[in-house]
Amino acid sequence: MTERITPEMQASVMLANINTDLAAVDKSQNELSTGLQITQPSDNPYATALSMQLSGQLAAMQSYSDNISDGTAWANTASTALQSIQQMVQSARTLVVEGANCTLDANDRASVAGQISDIVEEIKDTANTQYDGMYVFSGTATSTAPYQAGAGASDAFQGNTDPIYRTIGPAGTPTLQVNADLSSVLNDSASGPGMLSTLEQAATDVASGSSNLGTDLDNLDTNLGAFESLQGTVGAIQDRLSMAATRINSFQLTDQTELANTEDVDMAQASINYSTEQAAYTAALQTGAQIVQTSLVNFVSH
């Protein structure tokens, strides 16, 4: 039995083709207007899932990047303060050597001693350096100034020595301590006098013309050695943060590129697709119009 193609069948196929072509035109037009391949999950479920995964990774990487930036600013602030203190201590050492000159009279020695005492206050003031409203040398007691200000104020350390950490990478990457314990150098310890008491003793010995200035210089040199070690620790923190920033930036670039390849439209190709699909849609409409016209003629002739 031969199956007859009816006008209804032709019309159904024609409408299906027109709707298919129209959907393709709409999709390409939407891609061109939004610049995105995916405007709803049903467009590409796999690509949608991948896009969500990449977006989550980028959010995490941004968090690490923010931590690195904060840690870098913290370490840089500490490093700058330590450089200033080092210059002060070197100046103080020069004054101690000058004070050991036996030709100085009492007034000269008092003047030199006063300058050393002033430097002690400047050191404590610099030790109270802040970053973003937080004291960088107070451990986790960031709202407490490490040292009391003013001449004659106690040298006692007011903060704590607890570490401050920043997470600078994905799971498996250790957190990094970004602060430094300046009190370990400035204050007395079991290993000997700290820098503050050494300088204060030197000021007293200079004023009195004591013969103990050689011991004071030895202690000060020991303090400077410990201080330079602390500077090295801060420098190592800065290096670690710099390397972490480079690594995270690389991860971000890779994820951003992959996300763009997943979500973004190739505009040149989309423009070609749109032109082709628009032509196909127009042709489908024209063909449909001819089929409808022929069907009407056949209907009238019968």
For residue 139, give Cα distances in angstroms to 71, 121, 126, 195. Answer: 14, 21, 15, 19
pLDDT of residue 296: 45
Low-confidence stretches of the chain (pLDDT beneath 50): 1, 32, 274, 296-297, 299-300, 302
Q: How many other β-carbons are positioned within 10 Å of the β-carbon of residue 294?
A: 12
Whole-angstrom distance, CA of residue 160 vs CA of residue 138 = 6
Whole-angstrom distance, CA of residue 72 vs CA of residue 244 = 10
Contact call for residues 57 and 170 (beta carbons, < 8 A): no
pLDDT of residue 34: 57
Instruction: Please enumerate in sequence order all residues whose Cβ is within 8 A of that of 125, keeping only pairs 6 or more positions apart, or say none.
Output: 147, 149
CATH of 71-244, one of 1.20.1330.10, 2.70.170.10, 4.10.91.20, 1.25.40.10: 1.20.1330.10
DSSP H or E run through 176: strand 176-177
pLDDT of residue 104: 87
Whole-angstrom distance, CA of residue 236 vs CA of residue 269 = 50
For residue 99, give Cα distances in angstroms to 108, 140, 255. Answer: 8, 39, 63
**Nearest in space to 230 (alpha carbons), one of 108, 115, 83:** 83
Amino acid identity for residue 90 in this structure: Q
| Residue written as token pair 């127009």 | 282
Amino acid identity for residue 260 in this structure: A
Q: How many other β-carbons are positioned within 10 Å of the β-carbon of residue 231?
A: 18
pLDDT of residue 81: 98
Whole-angstrom distance, CA of residue 233 vs CA of residue 214 = 29
pLDDT of residue 243: 93
Determine the 3-state secondary structure of 98 from DSSP: helix
- Domains of the chain, residue spans: 7-36+265-301, 71-244
Whole-angstrom distance, CA of residue 224 vs CA of residue 50 = 55
